[in-house]
Amino acid sequence: MRKDFQIALLCAVATVPASFAVSIAFEYFPYLKAHLGGAFYVNLFLALLLLGTASVIAIKGEREAERAGAKRRMVPLVGMIFFGTGFVLCAIWFFTSKPPEPSKEAQSNAPVEPGAKTPEEKRRVFVPPELTPERLLGFFEQNTTMQATELTKDRIGQWIRITEPLGNVGAFNGYFVHVSFEKSGRGSIYCLFRNPKDIDRLKILKQGDPISIEGQINRIEPYVLNLDNCEFAESAPR
C-alpha cells in the first residue's frame, strides 16, 4: 500500500479513539470542564489551522502531481481529514451537551400524584395548627414586648391559615389591597393581597363574609398580626 493511502487510512481511523478520548476528557480534568468555552474555541482554531495547512499541502501536491503525470490523490485525503475533524467536534458536542430543562409552564402543568406536594408548597413553612392568631397575639399579653418579640421571631416568614369574617377591603394602590378582619379576640389581623385574581374576588365580598386565607407572617406586634402575600385558601398551592 502506498504511503499516502496509509497516512489517509491512519488519520481516518485515529478519529474514533480521539473522539472518544475527547468526549470523556472533561470528566477527568476539572479544569477543562470549568472552561468549556475556552476549550471549544482553542480546539476549533486548531482544527481550522490544521485543515488550512492540509489544504495548502494538498493543492501544492496536486500541482506537482500534474507536472509529474501522476493521478490526483491529495484532495480525497483532505476530505477525510475534514470529515474526521467534523466527527470529533460533533462527538464533543453530543457528549458534553445537557438536555433542555422543562419550562416553568410545563412543570406547572405536569400531573401531581395524590398526596404529593408541589414545589411551591414545599417552600412554604406553616406554623403548627395550634398556633392560632389568638395564641400568637397572646404572647404579648403574658409577657413583656421584648420577651414576646423574642418568643415569636422564628414565626416571621412562616405561613398561617385563617378563617375569619371579613372586616374591610381597602382600595387597590397599584401594588396590593389592604384587607382587615372583624376585630375579635386579642387583636386585629391585617393582610396584603397581591394576586390579581384574588383582588378581583375581593371586589364582590361584603363585610362579615367568612373567608379562608393563607398568608405569610410579616410582623407580630401587640394586638396586631400583619400578613403579606395573602391568598384565598382555595386558590393557594396544594
Q: What is the pLDDT of residue 186?
A: 74
What is the tens place of the pLDDT at every residue in 165-183?
Answer: 999 999 999 999 999 998 7
User: If you average pLDDT over each of 55-64, 79-88, 188-197, which comes out highest?
Assistant: 188-197
Cβ pair 145, 222 in contact under 8 A: yes
Average pLDDT over all residues of the chain: 75
In this structure, the strands spanning 210-221 and 159-169 are antiparallel
Burial of 217 (C-beta count, 10 Å sphere; 0-12/13-18/19+): buried
- Predicted local distance difference test score (pLDDT) of residue 227: 96
Q: With H, G, I as helix, E, B as strand and everything else as coil, classify residue 188.
A: strand
Calculated CA dihedral for residues 133, 138, 144, 147, nearest 10 degrees? -60
Cell of 68: 509529474
Task: Give pLDDT tens digits for 90-131.
Answer: 666 666 666 566 555 555 555 545 444 455 556 889 999 999
Give the residue from 164, 179, 162, 160 showing the smallest Cα distance to 218.
160
CA 89 to chain centre: 28
Average pLDDT of the residues in 61-88: 62
Q: Which long-range contacts (CB under 8 A, 24 or more apart) does 118-123 make?
A: 118/237, 118/238, 120/237, 121/237, 121/238
Least confident window among 53-62, 102-111, 152-161, 197-206: 102-111
Query: Do 50 and 81 touch, CB atoms closer than 8 A?
Result: yes
pLDDT at 70 over 90: no
Task: Give me the mean pLDDT over the 141-165 stretch.
Answer: 94
Judged by DSSP in three states, 111 sits in: coil
Give the pLDDT of residue 115. Answer: 46
- Report the alpha-carbon distance of residue 8 to residue 56 in Å, rounded: 16
Number of residues that this document lists for the chain:
238
Are residues 152 and 164 in contact, defined by beta-carbon separation less than 8 angstroms? Answer: no
The C-alpha atoms of residue 91 and residue 15 are separated, in whole angstroms, by 10
Q: Determine the pLDDT at residue 19.
A: 60
Alpha-carbon dihedral of residues 157, 159, 163, 164, nearest 10 degrees? Answer: 0
User: Is the separation of the CB atoms in 160 and 181 below 8 Å?
Assistant: no
